[in-house]
């Protein structure tokens, strides 16, 4: 079935065709395909990297080679500020050749991290699409500091796919997809066409393969795939240089590695819960894991361990005894409180903490189950 809404993410190495400059011919091919996809009735959101690369191009490579962006955040912010304008101008001119308007949306993690701002971003993107304008998104690198940035556009594009409820996230890279090993080092590496579950074996393959250019290696792509597929989208990684790659991916042809959606479309609030960055986890016993999987709340009595930090109202991962993530939810108590409550009855909460805000650690309404029961190994 033809997707109704897709997110296309273009990495720096694809935009520059591996050079030091934006490659307009490459950008033209991408724009042309996006225009054709739109004309066939699919809405398209473009997530573009390349601001820093465009900044270097704009201020001249001789001068920019003296700027060490890995050391100096202000230098990086300056390059992003210069380059983002340059990048958008290029996209605007290229889409303008097809009489298609574009609109720039610069996001940071902070713009998506609470429910109200998440909904604002969603409304803005939907409004832009409703006017038949192509939203072009990048991280707001000029102001994004470590604490508020997403950090890589693979993850950003998965968040965007989550926000707009996309059916397909297409990540265009300089690598054709996920290989059994790093194809640059191991000539016997083969491309994996379809991944139905992102398990340890898949992560092991990603560890062995690292895309050399841009920020995102294969591991950020896999993290993006986890978020996108849990949110109900299919994700495809493909070679951005491949002719007609966007058209073919939208038509459902095999163009790289396809990660099947692991959930059907889920309601907006649950998608938001998944988009939250979880900094801690709770390990639960088998009984609680079963309850969570069947859609019930997580009670303190079933919690065996609390790892990492989280405050009340923040996202937390629920893991089974084997360490597998089974759900993500919004905690009713902080990590420190949860550690005091674990293994205890809900009726004891008030005595232990001096107050009770809820009888459960995570309410069923605030929890999204992300994995089916672990299959026994054969
Ligand atoms: N936002 C960065 C840029 O435009 C790219 C980040 C990434 O490619 O992951 O330069």
Residue 22: give its domain's CATH number: 3.40.1160.10
- Cβ-based neighbour number of residue 131 at 10 Å: 8
Same-domain check for residues 185 and 303: no
Same-domain check for residues 113 and 91: yes
H helix or E strand, kind and range, residue 60: none
Is residue 337 domain-resident?
yes
Any atom of ligand 1 within 6 Å of the Cβ of 11: yes
Supply the pLDDT for residue 69. Answer: 65
- Interatomic CA distance for residues 340 and 356, integer angstroms: 13
Q: Per residue, what are the HEC states of 327-373? A: EEEECCCCHHHHHHHCCCCHHHHHHHHCCCCCCCCECHHHEEECCCC
Could you tell me the residue range of the domain that residue 232 belongs to? Answer: 5-269
Is residue 204 domain-resident?
yes
* CATH assignment of the domain containing 286: 2.30.130.10
Same-domain check for residues 230 and 329: no
Any atom of ligand 1 within 6 Å of the Cβ of 217: no
The pLDDT profile of the chain, 378 residues, written as one tens digit per residue, is: 789 999 999 999 999 998 989 999 999 999 999 999 999 999 999 999 999 999 999 988 777 777 776 667 888 899 999 999 999 999 999 999 999 999 999 999 989 888 888 888 998 999 999 999 999 999 999 998 888 888 899 999 999 999 999 999 999 999 899 998 878 788 888 999 999 988 888 888 877 433 433 445 788 999 999 999 988 899 999 999 999 999 999 999 999 999 998 877 777 778 888 888 898 999 999 999 999 999 999 999 999 999 999 999 899 999 999 999 999 999 999 999 999 999 999 999 999 999 998 999 999 988 999 865 544 333
- Interatomic CA distance for residues 149 and 111, integer angstroms: 10
Is residue 375 domain-resident?
no
Any atom of ligand 1 within 6 Å of the Cβ of 174: no
Ligand 1 centre to CA of 99 (Å) is 27
Any atom of ligand 1 within 6 Å of the Cβ of 214: yes
Q: Is 287 exposed, middle or buried (0-12, 13-18, 19+ CB in 10 A)?
A: exposed
**Residue in the structure block whose two tokens are 């493909």:** 238
- Interatomic CA distance for residues 357 and 340, integer angstroms: 15
Closest Cα partner for 11 from 160, 167, 138? 138
Q: How many domains does the chain have?
A: 2
Ligand 1 centre to CA of 225 (Å) is 18
Reading the block at residue 103, the tokens are: 């609109």
Supply the pLDDT for residue 253. Answer: 95
Ligand 1 centre to CA of 138 (Å) is 7
Contacts of 103 (CB under 8 A, 6+ apart): 128, 133, 134, 135, 136
Is residue 30 domain-resident?
yes
Supply the pLDDT for residue 216. Answer: 52
**What is the value of pTM for the model shown?**
0.85
- Interatomic CA distance for residues 155 and 145, integer angstroms: 16
């Amino acid at each position: 079935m033809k997707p109704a809404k897709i997110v296309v993410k273009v990495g720096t190495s694809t935009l520059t065709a591996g050079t030091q400059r934006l490659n307009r011919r490459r950008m033209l091919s991408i724009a042309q395909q996006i225009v054709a996809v739109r004309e066939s009735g699919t809405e398209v959101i473009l997530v573009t990297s390349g601001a820093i690369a465009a900044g270097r191009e704009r201020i001249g490579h001789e001068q920019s080679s003296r700027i060490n962006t890995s050391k100096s955040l202000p230098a990086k912010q300056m390059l992003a500020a210069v380059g983002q304008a340059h990048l958008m101008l290029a996209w605007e001119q290229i889409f303008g050749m097809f009489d298609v308007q574009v609109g720039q949306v610069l996001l940071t993690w902070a713009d998506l991290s609470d429910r109200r701002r998440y909904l604002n971003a969603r409304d803005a993107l939907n409004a832009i699409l409703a006017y038949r304008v192509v939203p072009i998104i990048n991280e707001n690198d000029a102001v994004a500091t470590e604490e508020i940035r997403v950090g890589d556009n693979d993850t950003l594009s998965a968040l965007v796919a989550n926000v707009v409820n996309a059916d397909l996230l297409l990540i265009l890279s300089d690598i054709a997809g996920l290989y059994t090993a790093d194809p640059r080092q191991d000539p016997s590496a083969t491309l994996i066409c379809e991944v139905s579950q992102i398990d340890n074996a898949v992560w092991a393959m990603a560890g062995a393969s690292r895309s050399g250019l841009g920020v995102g290696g294969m591991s950020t792509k896999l993290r993006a795939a986890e978020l996108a597929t849990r949110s109900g989208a299919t994700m495809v990684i493909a070679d951005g240089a491949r002719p007609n790659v966007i058209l073919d991916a939208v038509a459902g042809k095999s163009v790289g590695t396809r990660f099947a959606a692991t959930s059907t479309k889920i309601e907006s609030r649950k998608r938001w819960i998944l988009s939250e960055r979880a900094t801690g986890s709770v390990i639960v016993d088998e009984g609680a894991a079963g309850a969570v999987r069947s859609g019930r709340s997580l009670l303190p009595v079933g919690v065996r361990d609390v790892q990492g930090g989280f405050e009340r109202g923040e996202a937390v991962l629920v893991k089974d005894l084997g360490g597998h993530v089974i759900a993500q939810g919004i905690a009713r108590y902080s990590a420190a409180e949860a550690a005091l409550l674990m293994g205890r009855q809900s009726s004891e909460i008030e005595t232990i903490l001096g107050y009770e805000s809820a009888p459960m650690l995570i309410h069923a309404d605030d929890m999204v189950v992300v994995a089916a029961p672990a299959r026994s190994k054969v």
